[in-house]
C-alpha cells in the first residue's frame, strides 16, 4: 500500500541504484499547434489551476505553496458548485475534435475525459458525505504536517494560518456528515465507534502533544530567538483556542448524533440506492466495468488457485502436517524471525541491495532518485501494516522511502520481506512513482495523478516478478509471497460479500481466518477497513490481473519479438492510467510492434 502522509526524520540510507535513465513520454508524433490542440492544452492548464485553488491541501503536498494557509471549502454549496463546474468542463471537452489531436493528446483527452466522467458519475450517490474511515479522514488530518516543508518563517506562519482556519474546516466536515445523517448516507456503527475511540485517545489539555504542534518542536537553527518565541507561543495558543475545541465538537457530534444514527449492520447496500452505489464504487476503484458479482467470482477462483499453489510449496518445504499446522510452524518457530528490531531492519536493507542489480534484466528505464530503507516511526508502528512506501517528492526535495515495520519483530516473518520490498519499493511503488514524477512531457493532472487499481495492481504484479529474478527459490520465501497474494484475493470475496451479498461482519472475519494465516485481531482490523472504505480493497487484485492479462496477450501475439523490458516501458512511461485506458494503450503498443519496420528505399 502506498501512503503519502507519513514521514520520518531519519538518517537516509540509500540503496545503491543501478541506473539513472531519464524517463521520457510515450512515443508518438508531436502535434501541430492546431485549434484542437491549443484548446485542449488551455483547458488542462486552466483546470489544473482550478484544482490547486480548490484543493489547497493537495497543492501543498505537490509543492505549490500559494494556498498553504488554507483548507478546502467543504460547504455543501461548494460541493454542488464543483459538480456544476465538472459538467461545464465535460461539455467544453467534447466540443474539441479528438481526431485532430496527436496520439499523445488523444491519450491525454481520454484520461481527462475518464477522470471528469468518473467524478460526475459519483454525484447521485453522495459518498462525499462520508468524511472519515478507520484509516483516514478529518480525525487524522494532523498527518498533513509530515508531507509539508517547514524551512522558512513564512512556512510556519502559513501553518499558523491553517491552525486559525481549522475550526471552519472542521465544522464543514461535521456539516457534511450531518447532511449524510439526513440522507441516510452514513457509516456502520462499528466504524463510528472505532473513530470515537481514536478521538477519545487525544490529549485535550496539552497543545504541545497535538500533531499540529509537531513542526514547532524542530525549527531551523537559523531562526532568531524572537521568531522562535513568537511562533511557538502562537502555535500553542492557536491549538488551544482553535484546534482542540474543534476536535471536541467532532467528538461530541460523533458520540451524541452520528454513532446513534449509524447503521447497526455492515455493508453499503444499506444507503439509498445501495446496490447502485456499491456498483459505482467498485467500478471507480477498479477503473473497470466489472460488476460486484463478477469480482466476487474472480476472488473465489483466485483463492482456490493460490491455495492449491500454497499446498504445493508446503510439500516442497518438506512439511508433512496440515496447512493450519504449517501456518502455526511459520508463526512460532524462532528461525523465521529476527531477534530484534535492528536485525530485521538490517536484513531488509541487505535483501533490498541484493534485488537492485537484478532489475536490469526486466527494466530499461529507472528513476533518478534513489530510495531509503527505514523503520516505521515508533509512535505509529503498532497501527501500521508490515511495510509501506512514500514516493519521492515531485520537486525532488525528498527521496522515496520504504518503511519496514520493525514493531514486535518476533511476529514478522523474514520470509515475507522479499515480496514486501518488491511491492513497496523496487520495482513497486517507489520505483514506479519515481518514474512517474519525471515524465515532464505529460500534463500535470496525469503526472501527479493516480488510480489505486493501477498503482496497487502494478505493485502486486511486481511481487510476482520475484520468480523471474530467482528470488523465490527458497520455498519459505515463496510461501511468504503466496501468503501476501491470497490476502489480496480474499479481499475480493470479503468486500463484495459484505457490500453486495449482505454478509455479516462475523461472516467476513470467519472467511478471512479460514484462508489467511493471520490472527483474529488482524483479520478483524482488515474487515473493518473494508466496511469503512467500500471497494478500495478491490483495486489490488483486479489491477494485477489486468496487467498479467495484457502481458500474456503481448507474449502471445508478439512471440519471439516480445521484449519484457519494452513491455514494462509501455506500462510505466505513460504514468498511472485507468485500466480501461491502459488496455487501449498497451494494445496500441502491441499493434505497432506487429507492424513490419519501414526501412525505406
C-alpha–C-alpha distance, residues 326 and 433, integer Å: 36
* Closest of 112, 131, 138, 105 to residue 26, by C-alpha: 105
Tell me the pLDDT tens digit for each residue of 534-579.
999 999 999 999 999 999 999 999 999 999 999 999 999 999 999 9
Q: Quote the mean pLDDT of the chain.
A: 91
* Closest of 215, 250, 248 to residue 234, by C-alpha: 215
Burial of 487 per CB tally in 10 Å (0-12, 13-18, 19+):
buried
Residue spans of the domains in the chain: they are: 35-125, 138-264, 282-540
Confidence of residue 32 (pLDDT cuts 50, 70, 90): very low
pLDDT of residue 597: 59
Determine contact, residues 373/404, Cβ cutoff 8 Å.
Answer: yes
C-alpha–C-alpha distance, residues 389 and 433, integer Å: 10
* Closest of 352, 409, 354 to residue 378, by C-alpha: 409
Average pLDDT score over residue span 338-361: 95
Instruction: Assess whether the previous peptide bond of 427 is cis (omega < 30° from 0).
Output: yes
Q: Return contacts of 327-333, CB within 8 angstroms, 24+ apart.
A: 327/517, 330/413, 330/415, 330/476, 330/479, 330/517, 331/411, 331/413, 331/517
Q: How large a percentage of the chain has pLDDT more than 90?
A: 77
Q: Which residue has the higher pLDDT, 393 or 56?
A: 56
Tell me the pLDDT tens digit for each residue of 165-189.
999 999 999 999 999 999 999 999 9
pLDDT of residue 383: 66
Pairing of strands 387-390, 400-404: antiparallel
Amino acid at each position: 500500500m502506498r501512503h503519502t502522509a507519513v514521514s520520518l526524520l531519519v538518517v537516509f540510507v540509500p540503496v545503491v541504484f543501478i541506473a539513472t535513465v531519464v524517463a521520457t513520454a510515450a512515443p508518438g508524433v508531436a502535434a501541430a499547434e492546431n485549434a484542437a490542440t491549443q484548446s485542449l492544452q488551455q483547458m488542462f492548464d486552466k483546470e489544473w489551476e482550478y484544482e490547486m485553488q480548490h484543493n489547497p491541501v493537495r497543492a501543498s503536498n505537490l509543492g505549490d505553496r500559494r494556498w498553504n494557509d488554507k483548507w478546502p471549502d467543504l460547504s455543501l454549496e461548494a460541493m454542488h458548485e464543483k459538480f456544476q463546474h465538472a459538467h461545464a468542463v465535460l461539455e467544453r471537452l467534447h466540443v474539441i475534435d479528438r481526431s485532430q489531436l496527436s496520439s499523445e493528446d488523444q491519450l491525454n483527452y481520454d484520461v481527462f475525459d475518464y477522470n471528469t466522467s468518473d467524478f460526475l458519475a459519483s454525484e447521485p450517490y453522495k459518498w462525499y458525505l462520508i468524511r472519515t474511515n478507520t484509516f483516514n479522514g478529518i480525525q487524522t488530518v494532523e498527518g498533513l504536517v509530515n508531507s509539508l516543508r517547514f524551512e522558512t518563517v513564512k512556512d510556519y506562519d502559513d501553518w499558523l494560518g491553517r491552525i486559525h482556519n481549522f475550526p471552519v474546516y472542521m465544522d464543514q466536515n461535521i456539516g457534511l456528515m450531518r447532511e449524510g445523517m439526513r440522507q441516510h448516507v452514513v457509516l456502520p456503527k462499528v466504524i463510528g465507534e472505532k473513530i470515537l475511540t481514536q478521538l477519545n485517545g487525544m490529549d485535550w489539555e496539552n497543545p504541545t502533544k497535538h500533531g499540529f504542534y509537531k513542526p514547532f518542536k524542530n525549527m531551523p537553527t537559523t531562526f532568531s530567538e524572537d521568531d522562535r518565541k513568537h511562533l511557538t507561543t502562537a502555535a500553542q495558543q492557536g491549538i488551544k483556542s482553535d484546534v482542540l475545541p474543534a476536535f471536541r465538537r467532532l467528538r461530541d457530534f460523533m458520540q451524541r448524533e452520528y454513532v446513534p444514527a449509524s447503521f447497526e449492520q455492515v455493508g453499503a447496500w444499506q444507503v439509498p440506492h445501495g446496490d447502485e452505489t456499491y456498483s459505482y464504487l467498485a467500478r471507480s476503484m477498479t477503473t473497470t466495468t466489472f460488476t460486484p458479482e463478477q469480482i466476487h467470482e474472480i476472488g473465489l477462483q483466485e483463492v482456490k488457485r493460490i491455495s492449491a499453489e500454497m499446498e504445493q510449496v508446503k510439500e516442497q518445504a518438506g512439511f508433512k502436517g496440515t496447512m493450519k499446522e504449517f501456518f502455526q510452524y511459520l508463526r512460532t518457530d524462532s528461525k523465521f524471525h529476527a531477534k530484534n528490531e535492528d536485525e530485521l531492519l538490517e536484513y531488509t536493507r541487505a535483501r533490498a541491495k541484493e534485488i537492485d542489480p537484478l532489475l536490469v534484466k526486466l527494466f530499461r528505464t529507472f528513476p533518478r532518485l534513489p530510495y531509503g530503507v527505514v523503520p516505521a516511526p515508533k509512535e505509529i508502528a503498532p497501527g501500521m501494516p508490515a511495510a509501506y512506501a512514500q514516493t519521492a517528492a515531485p520537486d525532488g526535495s525528498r527521496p522515496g522511502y520504504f518503511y519496514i515495520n520493525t514493531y514486535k519483530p518476533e511476529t514478522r516473518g523474514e520470509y515475507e520481506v522479499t515480496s514486501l520490498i518488491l511491492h513497496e519499493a523496487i520495482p513497486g511503488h517507489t520505483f514506479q512513482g519515481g518514474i512517474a514524477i519525471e515524465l515532464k512531457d505529460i500534463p500535470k493532472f496525469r503526472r501527479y495523478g493516480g488510480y489505486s487499481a493501477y498503482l496497487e495492481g502494478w505493485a502486486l504484479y511486481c511481487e510476482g516478478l520475484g520468480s523471474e529474478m530467482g528470488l523465490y527459490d527458497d520455498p519459505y520465501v515463496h510461501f511468504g509471497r503466496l501468503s501476501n497474494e491470497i490476502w489480496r484475493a480474499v479481499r475480493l470475496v470479503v468486500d463484495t460479500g459484505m457490500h453486495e451479498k449482505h454478509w455479516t461482519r462475523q461472516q467476513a472475519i470467519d472467511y478471512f481466518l479460514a484462508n489467511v494465516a493471520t490472527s483474529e485481531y488482524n483479520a478483524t482490523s482488515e474487515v473493518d477497513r473494508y466496511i469503512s472504505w467500500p471497494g478500495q480493497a478491490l483495486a489490488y487484485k483486479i489491477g494485477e490481473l489486468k496487467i498479467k492479462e495484457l502481458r500474456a496477450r503481448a507474449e502471445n501475439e508478439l512471440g519471439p519479438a516480445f521484449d519484457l523490458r519494452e513491455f514494462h516501458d509501455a506500462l510505466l512511461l505513460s504514468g498511472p492510467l485507468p485500466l480501461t485506458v491502459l488496455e487501449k494503450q498497451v494494445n496500441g503498443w502491441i499493434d505497432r510492434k506487429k507492424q513490419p519496420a519501414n526501412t525505406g528505399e
